[in-house]
Amino acid sequence: MKDAISILLQVAFLVNISPALAGDIPLSKNVSVSIPADSTLALVATKEKNADRVLFNGEALVSGMLQIYWQISWNCDGPSGCKEFPRTLGMRFFPDKKSLLSLPTMKEGKTVFEAKSIYLSNNRPGSDAHFPEEKIKTLLKDISNIPDNFFRYRERFVLFPAKIRFAGLAVSKECDSYHFIGTFLEVKENAKELPPDQEREASELPAGCGPSLYDEVFIVRAKNSDKFEVRSSPDVKGAVISRLQNDNAVLNLRTVNNNWLYIRAVPGDEPYSTNKKATPVFGYIYKPSLEMEPLN
C-alpha cells in the first residue's frame, strides 16, 4: 500500500496536464468517472484513457474528519531478525456527506466508489508523502486533549472534525477498490478537542484493504508457559482477566510504559476480527515476560 501511494503520487506530478474534462466520462467498457457539475476538480485529459490510474487537477475545500497517524513498518527478512523502520506521520481525510457530493466518483459496472477516504501527501504530488513532526505539532497546538502516548511513543492516531483544502486528486485501483490521494494545502477550521472515544470513531470510518497503516500487531508467546496473561491493570499484581494460547495475535492500542501495553486480542483469531462467536479481550500485557514478533 505504501509503495502504491508513493508511485501514484509521482505519476500525478509528472503527468502533462491537458485541457480538463467534466461530466460522466467512460474510461473503459466497464469503468467511468462521474464529476459533479459544481466540482472544483476536473479530469486531466491524457492521450490514453486508463481505468486503473485517473488524475484530476484543481483545488477542493471539504469538511469531515481528519486523521493523523504514525505509520509503522518492519523488515523481518534480514539475518538478525526484525528491524523497525523509523516511524513517520501521515494524514488522511474522511469527507462528510455534503462534501462527498462535490467530489468525483468512480463507477465500475453498477458499483459506485466514492472518495470516502482521501490519503494526503505533503507539499505537492511526487514529494514525500510523510509530514514533519513539527508541522503536525503546529497543526495540533490548539487541541487540548492529545494523548501523551501519541508523540511520546509515536503510536496510533488522532482523529477530529476539520475543514481542509487540498489540491489535485489521483485515483488508483487496489484490492477491488479505488484509492484517492490529494495534496494537503491547509486546515481552514479545526476542532479544539478530540472526540472522547478515538478507537470507536475510527472503527466507524471506511476501512482500506488489510490492517491500517498505524496498527501495531504482534504474535505473542510467554517465555515460560504455553499461555500468556492479560491483566486488568498495568501491574503484575493486577487481576488476570484472560490467559491466551501462545502465538495469539494482539493489537497494541496504547503503550503505558516500557513494560506494559494495553491491547486488544481475539482468542484464536486476528485482533481486529469481527467474528461474533469470539469475544474480544481488552487488557494489559507485561512485555518482560513475553516474546513478541511483529506482523506489520
CATH architecture observed for domain 217-294? Roll (2.30)
Number of C-beta neighbours around residue 90 at 10 A: 22
**pLDDT above 90 covers what percent of the chain?**
59
**pLDDT grade for 232, boundaries at 50, 70 and 90:** very high
- Residue 180's pLDDT is 93
CA–CA separation, 152 vs 19, rounded Å?
47
Is the per-residue pLDDT at 126 higher than 50? no
- Cα-based distances in Å from 234 to 93, 153, 198, 226, 280: 34, 17, 21, 21, 18
Say if residue 90's pLDDT is above 90. Answer: yes
Q: pLDDT tier at 7 (50, 70, 90 boundaries)?
A: very low
Q: What pLDDT is attached to residue 18?
A: 35
Three cell numbers written together for 41: 476538480
The β-bridge relationship of strands 31-34 and 105-108 is antiparallel
Q: Which residue has the higher pLDDT, 185 or 17?
A: 185
pLDDT of residue 245: 96
The pLDDT score that the predictor gives to residue 254 is: 95
Confidence of residue 208 (pLDDT cuts 50, 70, 90): low
Residue 192 has pLDDT above 50, yes or no: yes
Strand partners, 54: 171
CA distance 160 to 27: 35
pLDDT digits (tens, 9 = 90+) for 13-61: 333 333 344 457 888 888 899 999 889 998 886 555 556 788 999 999 9
pLDDT in tens, 128-175: 578 999 999 999 999 989 999 999 999 999 999 999 999 999 998 887
Could you identify the residue written with the cell 510504559?
Answer: 257
CA distance linking residue 94 with residue 100, whole number of Å = 9
pLDDT(80) > 80: no
Q: Is the pLDDT of residue 81 over 50?
A: yes
The confidence band for 74, taking pLDDT boundaries of 50, 70 and 90, is confident
Report the C-alpha gap between 254 and 101 in whole angstroms.
36
Give pLDDT, residue 182.
94
CATH 2.30.30 domain range(s) in the chain: 217-294
Is the Cα torsion angle 238, 244, 246, 247 positive or negative in sign? Answer: negative
Mean pLDDT over the full length of the chain: 86
Nearest to 6 by CA among 125, 135, 169: 125
